[in-house]
Amino acid sequence: MKRVSRAQLRGRPLDPLCKKAYTTTPEYGPADKRVFCYGLICCENDEPEELCAVCGAYVRNETPLEVYHEPTGQ
């Protein structure tokens, strides 16, 4: 399975600021090929920047990996 980039999770190309954020992979084991980022923190209030808080590639917005299991035939 090919890696799913942050731009794909975000739904549009990365902003120049996005390229400065640290990335993480895999969140849900070796089958999870998605790449998330830790986002950028606002230095005034230690909260994530607005663009990160709503981004689909931000690690706090990730959802568990849905894995399809074959029926066992019983």
Is residue 71, in this structure, part of any structural domain at all? no
The dihedrals phi and psi of 41, each to the nearest 5 degrees, come to -100, 135
Runs of H (alpha helix) within the chain: 6-10, 50-53
- In terms of residue numbers, what domain contains 54? 6-61
Is residue 73, in this structure, part of any structural domain at all? no
The dihedrals phi and psi of 19, each to the nearest 5 degrees, come to -70, -15
Judged against a pLDDT cut of 60, whether residue 12 lies above it is answered with yes
Q: Residue 63: what pLDDT?
A: 84
Reported as a pLDDT band with limits 50, 70 and 90, residue 68 is low
Is residue 69, in this structure, part of any structural domain at all? no
Per the structure, the count of domains in the chain is 1
pTM: 0.73
Is residue 67, in this structure, part of any structural domain at all? no
As a whole number of angstroms, the distance between CA 47 and CA 39 comes to 10
* Interval 28-45: pLDDT, tens: 888 888 999 999 988 888
Is residue 70, in this structure, part of any structural domain at all? no
Is residue 72, in this structure, part of any structural domain at all? no
Question: Is the distance from CB of 24 to CB of 50 less than 8 angstroms?
Answer: no
DSSP one-letter code for 48: B
